[in-house]
Amino acid sequence: SGSIPDSILDIAPVIPVVVIEDAETAVPLAHALVAGGLPVIEVTLRTEAALESIRRIAAEVPDAVIGAGTILSPGDAARAVEAGSRFLVSPGSTPSLIDAMAGTGVPFLPGVATASEVLGLYERGLREMKFFPAEPAGGVPYLKALSGPLPGARFCPTGGIRLETACDYLRLPNVGCVGGTWLTPADALATGDYARIEKLAGEASALRRS
Ligand code: 3PG
């Protein structure tokens, strides 16, 4: 029930950031995350298996909203969308990268860590972005401080966030959702422990702004 959210930030409280070493794990992994209540999945382009994993999830897990992270170049953006990515995430926001991501036609979250970078995105008409690396860059107090002069920016903080700290971010008015790798531990993926991943996703999907 309900309408489809306009923004990738408004679908689930947490976007799992996943590093997939073996494309054979991609579909069961995506099923586990969706079953746990986290349908938005960011597969990072950090492994050989990433694009094939996106292809398989796009083809076989229709309830997932599959996207690509670690977009570092215009070529990455094009390859990720060609593979079936429905959104793109970058750790940074250079002009050529923004042009390339915008040119694909899918929603995207460029990365920022300073007020000047937020203003750079404002100049491009962009209001939604990734805050990276969230914890090292200053975390919750830093984002709270940015909301004073820049109340129109909405963030997906990522970098060092865990279940225990996610709720503090989600309480901020300028945070739509958070991202992180804690939902998909490498050892759980290596051993095929999808029940554990579904449980971690279930705990995260229950987080709500209070
Ligand atoms: C990212 O790549 O977006 C962050 O590094 C997420 O990783 P972490 O949750 O392990 O910090």
Task: Calculate what percentage of the chain has a pLDDT beyond 70.
Answer: 97
Task: Calculate what percentage of the chain has a pLDDT beyond 90.
Answer: 96
The reply to whether 1 falls in a domain is: no
pLDDT band at 56 (very low <50, low <70, confident <90, very high): very high
Q: Which atom of ligand 1 is nearest to the CA of 162?
A: 9
* Beta strands 108-109; 40-44: pairing state: unpaired
158 CB less than 6 Å from ligand 1? yes
Pocket test for ligand 1, best of 181, 189, 200 (most atoms within 8 A of CB): 181
pLDDT, tens only, 122-169 = 999 999 999 999 999 999 999 999 999 999 999 999 999 999 999 999
The reply to whether 135 falls in a domain is: yes
The reply to whether 120 falls in a domain is: yes
Domain that holds residue 36: 8-205
pLDDT band at 1 (very low <50, low <70, confident <90, very high): very low
At residue 202, φ and ψ (nearest 5 deg) are -65, -40
CATH number for the domain harbouring residue 197: 3.20.20.70
Q: Who has greater pLDDT, 6 or 67? A: 67
pLDDT, tens only, 195-206 = 999 999 999 999
Number of domain units in the chain? 1
Q: Could you tell me the distance, in angstroms and rounded to a whole number, from the CA of residue 1 to the centre of ligand 1?
A: 32
The reply to whether 28 falls in a domain is: yes
End-to-end CA distance of the chain: 22
The reply to whether 157 falls in a domain is: yes
Asked if 88 and 81 touch (Cβ cutoff 8 Å), the reply is yes
Q: Could you give the count of Cα atoms lying within 13 Å of 163 in the half-sphere of its Cβ? A: 12
The reply to whether 98 falls in a domain is: yes
- How far apart CA 155 and CA 131 sit, in angstroms, is 6
pLDDT band at 5 (very low <50, low <70, confident <90, very high): confident
111 CB less than 6 Å from ligand 1? no
Span 157-185, average pLDDT: 97
Q: What is the mean pLDDT of the chain?
A: 96
Give catalytic residues, as residue numbers. Answer: 42, 130
pLDDT greater than 70 at residue 90: yes
Whole-number pLDDT of residue 210: 45
pLDDT band at 4 (very low <50, low <70, confident <90, very high): low
The reply to whether 2 falls in a domain is: no
Q: Could you tell me the distance, in angstroms and rounded to a whole number, from the CA of residue 63 to the centre of ligand 1?
A: 24
Q: Which among 41, 36, 69 is positioned nearest to 56, based on CA atoms?
A: 41
The reply to whether 131 falls in a domain is: yes
181 CB less than 6 Å from ligand 1? yes
Question: In 8-73, where does DSSP find H-type helix?
Answer: 26-35, 50-60
Taking the whole predicted model, whether its pTM rises above 0.90 is answered as: yes
pLDDT, tens only, 98-119 = 999 999 999 999 999 999 999 9
16 CB less than 6 Å from ligand 1? no
Q: Which atom of ligand 1 is nearest to the CA of 132?
A: 3
- Prior bond of 39 cis (ω within 30°): no
Q: Could you tell me the distance, in angstroms and rounded to a whole number, from the CA of residue 41 to the centre of ligand 1?
A: 13
159 CB less than 6 Å from ligand 1? yes
